[in-house]
Amino acid sequence: MPINETLVTEAERLTPKLREAEIAPRALVDAVPDPDAFQGWRMEPAGDYEGLSGRAFGKGESFVLDFGDHQVGYVSFAAEAVGSPPDAPLKLKLVFGEMPCEIGENFAEYDGWLSSSWLQEETMYLDVLPAAVTLPRRYCFRYMKVTVVDASPKYRARFADFRCAAVTSADVSNVPPLPDGVPDDLAAMDRIAVKTLQDCMQTVYEDGPKRDRRLWIGDLRLQAQANYVTFRDRDVVKRCLYLFGGMPLESGAVGACVFEKPHPHVDDTRLYDYSLFFVATLHDYYEATGDREALAALWPIALRQLKLGAERLDERGVVTDDPSWWCFIDWQGDLNKQASAQAVLIYCLKRGLALAEAAGDGEAAAWISETTHLASEAAMSRLWDAEQGVFVSGADAQVSWASQVWMTLGGVLAPAEASALFDRLFANPPEVGMNTPYMYHHYIEALFECGKSDKAWAEMRAYWGEMMRDGADTFWELYNPNDKKFSPYGSNLINSYCHAWSCTPTYFIRKYWNRTK
- String of DSSP letters for 34-55: -TTSGGGEEEEEEEEGGGGGG-
pLDDT string in tens for the chain (517-residue length): 789 999 999 999 999 999 999 999 999 999 999 999 999 999 999 999 999 999 999 999 999 999 999 999 999 999 999 999 999 999 999 999 999 999 999 999 999 999 999 999 999 999 999 999 999 999 999 999 999 999 999 999 999 999 999 999 999 999 999 999 999 999 999 999 999 999 999 999 999 999 999 999 999 999 999 999 999 999 999 999 999 999 999 999 999 999 999 999 999 999 999 999 999 999 999 999 999 999 999 999 999 999 999 999 999 999 999 989 999 999 999 999 999 999 999 999 999 999 999 999 999 999 999 999 999 999 999 999 999 999 999 999 999 999 999 999 999 999 999 999 999 999 999 999 999 999 999 999 999 999 999 999 999 999 999 999 999 999 999 999 999 999 999 999 999 999 999 999 999 999 999 998 7
Which domains are assigned to the chain? 21-167 (2.60.120), 172-516 (1.50.10.10)
Task: Give the H/E segment covering residue 156.
Answer: strand 155-168
* pTM (2 d.p.): 0.97
Are 447 and 459 spatial neighbours (Cβ–Cβ below 8 Å)? yes
Residue type, 402: A
Residues pairing with 163 in the sheet: 76
Are 421 and 408 spatial neighbours (Cβ–Cβ below 8 Å)? yes
Half-sphere exposure of 194 (CA within 13 A, CB side): 23
